[in-house]
Every structure is written in C-alpha cells, then in structure tokens.
Amino acid sequence: MNLGKAKTILIIAFLGLNLFLGYHLYWPYLGQLTKTVVTAAELQQALAYLAANNYNLDADIGRYVQKSTFLTVTPAQQGPEGIRDLFNQATSSTSENGLTVYRDPDRVMTVHPGGQIQVEFQPGLFVVEQSHTLEERELSRLVQQQLKENFFLPEQLRFDYIEKVRTNDHRLILHFYRDIGGMPLFACYTKVFLEEDYITALEIYWLDPLEQPREGEMEVIPATDALIKLVDELGPGLLPRTITKVDLGYFSREYNAEMWEVPPVWRILMEDYSVYYINAFTGNLEADL
C-alpha cells in the first residue's frame, strides 16, 4: 500500500471523526450561538423610531434568541425567613383593620392582608456617613451588610437600582428583587429606605416559586420590539425621555389568591424611575396596580 495515500486516508478519517463528535457535542447550542433575533439594521431602525418619538436608549439590550415560560408562585404571608424570626421575637402584637402589627423597642413591623410587609426602624440603622455620595454598588454592598448583621438578607435577594427622592437629595430608595434561576422576579421585591445615612424602613413583598420554569419554553419577543410596543402605548414624549434599563424577568400584579402564573416580561426603567412591563410573549403592556 502507498504510505502517503494511507496517511491521507487516516487524516481524513480523523477529521471526519472530530466533525462527527463536535456536531453532536455542540449541536444543542449552535442555534443560540449563531442565531440573532435583531440584526444591526433592525436595531438601528428601532433606535431611530425611539428617537423620532423623543425617547433615548441608554441601556444595553441583548440581540440573541431568548426563551422563557410561565412561573407559578404563591405569596409568602410572613415574608422571607429572617423576617419570620422577628415576628416570633416581637414583644407585642395587635390586629386592627386587617393589619397585624408587631412591636419591638427598636422597630415596628406591619403585615398587610395581601402579604406586603413594612418594617420601620426607630431611630434607624446607621450605614455610612455621606451615603448619598457613594457609588451605587458600594452603597448597596454596605446596606446589605447592615441588613445581614441585623436579621434580613435572603440568599436570593439581588440589587437592582437606587432611586433618588427628588424632594430631598439625602433620601434614597434601594430596590432589590428575588432571583429565580438567574431570572429576576420583579413582582417579589424589597425596598430599602435610606435617609440621612440611616436605614429607616423596609417594604417587602415576597413570593415563593411553586414550579421552576424548565419545560414548555417559548421564544420571547426581542427587546427592541418591546421598546417599540411601549412607545406605541405611551405615545410621543412631550419632553425627551431616557430609558436606563431593559431587563427580561417575571412580573405580575399582586393577587389575593393562593397561587397564580407569572409571565415573562421586559422590564423597562426610565431615568425618572417610571417602570413599565411589556409581556414578553404577547407584547402587551402589563398593568402595575
């Protein structure tokens, strides 16, 4: 047998084997790696449409195929574990007008019938001097550290953004959401109220997932479509409006029910802290009541 010809056959066979193995190994991911929902031209068209209606996009948006499904949730009537422990330790409790109020010398906790919880600190939890001058991430880290030391920092809590109260530069609201398998559950939130360097209050609404979204996934509309849908709903801006965050997550209004399904949404945050939710399947604007 010709030695050179034999080597060529072996090389071809080896390359063929590599191609076969690579095909079966990476085939499930090839579509995600190569297929884009939005072309560069389509992105520019969307940006031009926003600009023509007085909207400016100052946020990163993904252009790759994304899939999601519905999430089934139930309200946690006594919030996350850290808060529940405080209820048991409270020195007194009363019920009036459907509210349950727990009192300690340094805090008052109010539980609403729908599951919302408010915690007021007296006088407050000190965080750091000149807190309003810190970068968002650093201030968020210090606030979470203080909450963890005192009682409350669920493992799934994730920092979202800081809202500056326009009537007072020294008043801030830190927004957090619950992480569900890498996806934000915006309907499950914690707000931390900061005033004059002290945490003065918390507002908590906690949901527990009953079913993780693993099966029945469908492609969602691209973020550019969600932005166009929102502009169509709101109409042209009388003044320029800036979009600062566009994120895919879960959201629904609060229901007086034992469980319900939460759809995936595109959460769109404006510079003035206005928040809008576009259903990622239907493109409808979800009501935030």
Report the C-alpha gap between 235 and 227 in whole angstroms. 12
CA angle 48, 248, 27 (to 5 degrees): 100
At which residue do the structure tokens 């090389």 appear?
A: 11
The answer to whether residue 30 scores a pLDDT higher than 90 is: no
CA distance readout (Å), 198 to 68, 82, 120, 123, 142: 39, 20, 12, 8, 11
What are the CA-CA distances from residue 1 to residues 7, 15, 34, 79, 111 (Å)? 11, 21, 44, 78, 87
CA 89 and chain centroid, separation: 31
pLDDT for position 12: 56
Give the lowest-confidence range in 42-56, 84-98, 198-212, 218-232. Answer: 84-98
Task: Answer yes or no: are the C-beta atoms of 185 and 207 closer than 8 Å.
Answer: yes
- Per-residue pLDDT reduced to its tens digit, 104-134: 888 898 988 878 899 999 889 999 888 878 8
Q: Looking at residue 215, what is its pLDDT? A: 65
Contact between residue 72 and residue 258 where contact means Cβ atoms under 8 Å apart? no
Of residues 1 and 76, more confidently modeled: 76
Confidence (pLDDT) at 239 = 93
Percent of the chain's residues with pLDDT above 90: 47
The CA distance from 140 to 183, in Å, is 20
Structure pTM?
0.82
User: Is the per-residue pLDDT at 218 higher than 60?
Assistant: yes
Calculate the average pLDDT of the chain. 83
pLDDT recorded at residue 76: 82
- Integer Cα distance of 166 and 217 in angstroms: 41
Is the model's pLDDT at 10 over the cut of 90? no
Q: What is the pLDDT of residue 7?
A: 53
What's residue 26's pLDDT?
38
Could you give the domains of the chain? Answer: 31-70+213-286 (2.40.128), 77-207 (3.30.310.160)
The most distant pair of C-alpha atoms in the chain lies apart, rounded to whole Å, by 97
Q: How far apart are the first and last CA of the chain?
A: 81
The pLDDT score that the predictor gives to residue 22 is 44
- Band of residue 174 on the pLDDT scale cut at 50, 70, 90: very high
Is 275 in contact with 267 (CB distance < 8 Å)? Answer: yes
How many other C-beta atoms lie within 10 A of the C-beta of residue 141?
A: 13
SS3 175: strand
